[in-house]
């Protein structure tokens, strides 16, 4: 049973909710955590598809708040697989005794502000209500699964799966005719594994994607020990990296445009072998300048052509646009999978999937039959989880109405008209463009210290100032417009969900964002109104 009243509610038991709850309990608050899933883990609880793995290295994708935890936890691989990260989240919850603060299998469907006493009342799908003074949404940036509204979706009689809501018991595709729709990160990770089991695999591709081999490998104990011996220093350097990770690696500041063709190729080859995102460190201007970017894009295409034997399939797999304005993918044997005789690529860029029918799907005048269809079709990113919840602020203003033309926040943490409500890694914060665990730890510290300050000052309510928020939105847009990010149909812009406002949602600029929040805190929270 949920209590009727508490000091603070934290929604979500992912890495954000976990550290947030811990921090608020340290303040002596009566905190209740609510989670729609059955355990801790968030993203890593839901995304159990085969091959699911983090694309930030294990030694960096972890909490920093406990030196003992940091020293004791052993990561077996360079990039951790989903079960390992889930085990880590659950270990942290137990070790720091957060489990007893959470109620699982509770889906928050409403949150309504009462201005008479500055409280929020949260309602669950299970029919409960809970009133609190502080409400923190730790609901994740990629947690609201997106299944396109294909005609005939419910007519299909075979099994369907979404990568972001994978069955806990796993799926055995042995002997089955399988379709995967989508070629984003989740598809690129799962396709090689599904192909090993399936009798036949058809991949339906609307847009080809850039992917770099992850170069995953076991993490040698000596390497982990060397990092742990100086962990603080690595963490500190990472705080100053543009995405809060990757300080291990040398980033070359030089322009690709002034390099000779030989220097260019040699350097791209070197960074290709480093794997994943590190590839973009080969030159200093790859994500800033379209001509520079074209060199990196062409290098990746040359690798795809070298790998995929059938020239027609290789051409279809070659992405056409800017590299890294959609999230770059990291793979293990993705392009090689298309050399298997039972794996076929179907291009739906010109002739979209028309409909599902009882036995399969139709596109381009062809009918394909399947035993199972995997939707690797992504998420209603960054705003989806918040807007699906029915949040009603001051004077009956709904978050849905307020954000009808795109999200507006102050620092990606609060939004005016919604007092005493905080978002962890919300739209308008670096969030998905930085190491997520560092991001949530940073926000947990900021939010908990702000609540502590509020109570010490004797205030009962705090909210974003409209002018500060307007300015923040302008700054965010201005920064994005100086980069290549707005130039493709990415989920950063909401372009993957029909009808969603096309607005660049994350804030570009990790290290200076941290400085900005430090300054705001030192100045007793400029840009906020208190009462």
What are the b/e assignments for 73-93, b being 16+ CB within 10 Å?
Answer: bebebbbbbbebbbebbbebb
Interface with ligand NAP, residue 433, by CB under 6 A: no
Of the candidate residues 278, 353, 361, 464, the single one contacting ligand NAP (CB under 6 A): 353
Inter-residue contact 186 to 329 (CB < 8 Å) = no
Q: Cβ closer to ligand NAP: 98 or 376? A: 376
CA neighbor of 19 nearest in space, from 4, 31, 36: 31
Residue 320 CA to residue 38 CA, distance in Å, equals 41
Task: Scan residues 125-184 and list those touching ligand NAP (CB under 6 A).
Answer: 142, 148, 163, 181-184
Other Cβ atoms closer than 10 A to 8: 25
Interface with ligand NAP, residue 356, by CB under 6 A: no
Least distance in angstroms from the C-beta of 23 to ligand NAP: 25
Residue nearest to ligand NAP (CB): 184
Least distance in angstroms from the C-beta of 8 to ligand NAP: 29
Distance, first Cα to last Cα, the chain: 33
Reported as half-sphere exposure (CB side, CA atoms, 13 A), residue 215 has a value of 12
Q: Cβ closer to ligand NAP: 132 or 381? A: 381
Of the candidate residues 378, 384, 427, 428, the single one contacting ligand NAP (CB under 6 A): 378
Residue 200 CA to residue 189 CA, distance in Å, equals 17
Q: Cβ closer to ligand NAP: 142 or 413? A: 142
Q: Specify the stretch interacting with ligand NAP by CB under 6 A; choose among 25-33, 100-108, 289-297, 375-383.
A: 375-383
Task: Scan residues 198-237 and list those touching ligand NAP (CB under 6 A).
Answer: 204, 206-207
Largest CA distance in the chain: 70
| Coil, helix or strand at residue 207 | coil
Q: Cβ closer to ligand NAP: 162 or 267? A: 162
Least distance in angstroms from the C-beta of 262 to ligand NAP: 32
In this structure, what token pair is assigned to residue 125? 């799908």
Q: DSSP state, 89?
A: H
Q: Cβ closer to ligand NAP: 173 or 492? A: 492
Name the phi and psi angles at 504, rounded to 5. -70, 125
Q: Is 502 exposed, middle or buried (0-12, 13-18, 19+ CB in 10 A)?
A: exposed
Of the candidate residues 491, 504, 507, 528, the single one contacting ligand NAP (CB under 6 A): 491
How many residues in the shown chain lie near ligand NAP by CB under 6 A? 29
Interface with ligand NAP, residue 92, by CB under 6 A: no
Residues near ligand NAP, by CB under 6 A: 53-55, 142, 148, 163, 181-187, 189, 204, 206-207, 327, 330, 348, 353, 376-379, 432, 489, 491, 496
């Amino acid at each position: 049973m949920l209590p009727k009243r508490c000091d603070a509610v934290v929604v979500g038991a992912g890495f954000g909710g976990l550290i947030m709850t811990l921090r608020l309990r340290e303040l002596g608050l009566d905190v209740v955590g609510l989670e729609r899933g059955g355990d801790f883990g968030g993203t890593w609880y839901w995304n159990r598809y085969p091959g699911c793995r983090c694309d930030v290295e294990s030694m960096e994708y972890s909490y920093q708040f406990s030196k003992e935890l940091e020293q004791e936890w052993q990561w077996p691989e360079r990039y951790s697989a989903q079960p390992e990260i889930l085990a880590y989240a659950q270990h942290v919850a137990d070790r720091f005794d957060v489990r007893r603060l959470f109620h699982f299998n509770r889906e928050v469907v409403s949150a309504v502000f009462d201005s008479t006493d500055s409280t929020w009342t949260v309602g669950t799908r299970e029919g409960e209500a809970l009133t609190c003074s502080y409400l923190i949404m730790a609901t994740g940036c990629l947690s609201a699964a997106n299944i396109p509204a294909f005609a005939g979706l419910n007519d299909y009689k075979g099994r369907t799966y979404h990568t972001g809501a994978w069955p806990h018991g796993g799926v055995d595709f042995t002997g089955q005719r399988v379709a995967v729709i989508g070629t984003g990160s989740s598809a690129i990770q799962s396709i090689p594994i599904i192909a090993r089991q399936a009798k036949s695999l058809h991949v339906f591709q609307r847009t080809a994607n850039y992917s770099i081999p992850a170069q995953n490998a076991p993490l040698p104990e000596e390497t982990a020990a060397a990092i742990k011996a100086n962990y603080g220093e690595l963490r500190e350097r990472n705080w100053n990296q543009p995405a809060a990770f990757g300080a291990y690696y040398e980033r070359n500041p030089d322009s690709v445009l002034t390099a000779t063709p030989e220097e260019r190729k040699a350097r791209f080859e070197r960074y290709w072998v480093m794997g994943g995102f590190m590839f973009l460190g080969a030159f200093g201007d790859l994500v800033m300048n379209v001509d520079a970017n074209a060199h990196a894009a062409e290098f990746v295409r040359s690798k795809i052509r070298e790998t995929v034997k059938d020239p027609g399939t290789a051409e279809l797999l070659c992405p056409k646009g800017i590299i890294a304005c959609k999230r770059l993918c990291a793979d293990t044997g993705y392009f090689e999978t298309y050399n298997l005789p039972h794996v076929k690529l179907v291009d739906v860029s010109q002739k979209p999937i028309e409909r599902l029918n009882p036995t399969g799907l139709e596109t381009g005048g062809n009918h394909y039959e399947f035993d199972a269809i995997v939707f690797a079709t992504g998420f209603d990113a960054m705003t989806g989880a918040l807007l699906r919840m029915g949040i009603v602020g001051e004077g009956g203003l709904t978050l849905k109405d307020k954000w009808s033309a795109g999200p507006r926040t102050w620092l990606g943490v609060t939004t005016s008209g919604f007092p005493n409500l905080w978002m962890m890694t919300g739209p308008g914060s670096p969030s998905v463009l930085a190491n997520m665990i560092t991001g949530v730890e940073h926000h947990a510290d900021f939010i908990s210290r702000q609540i502590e300050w509020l109570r010490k000052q004797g205030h009962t309510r705090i909210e974003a100032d409209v002018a500060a928020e307007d300015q923040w939105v302008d700054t965010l847009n201005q920064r994005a417009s100086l980069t290549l990010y707005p130039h493709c149909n990415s989920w950063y812009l909401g372009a993957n969900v029909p009808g969603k406002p096309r607005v660049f949602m994350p804030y570009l600029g990790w290290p200076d964002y941290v400085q900005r929040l430090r300054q705001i805190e030192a100045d007793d929270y400029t840009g906020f109104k208190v009462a």
